[in-house]
Amino acid sequence: MKRNIKYIVVHCTATQPNASIESIKKYWKEKRGWGDTSGYHYIIKANGEVVQLLDEDKNSNGVYKHNSECINVAYIGGIDKAGKAKDTITRAQENSLFDLVVRLTEKYQGAEICGHRDFPNVHKDCPSFDAKTWLKNYQPDIDLAA
Domain assignment present for 142: no
Query: CATH number for the domain including 76?
Result: 3.40.80.10
- Show Cβ contacts of residue 90 under 8 Å, excluding neighbours closer than 6 positions: 17, 46, 47, 48, 75, 77
Domain assignment present for 61: yes
Percentage, residues of the chain above pLDDT 90: 75
Predicted pLDDT at 71: 97
Predicted pLDDT at 1: 57
Domain that holds residue 110: 7-134
Residues 34-77: pLDDT tens digits?
877 788 999 999 999 999 999 999 999 899 899 999 999 999 99
Domain assignment present for 42: yes
Looking at the predicted structure, is the pLDDT value of residue 143 above 70? no
Predicted pLDDT at 33: 73
Q: How far is CA 70 from the centre of its chain?
A: 11
Mean pLDDT of the chain, nearest integer: 91
Domain assignment present for 128: yes
Domain assignment present for 11: yes
Domain assignment present for 106: yes
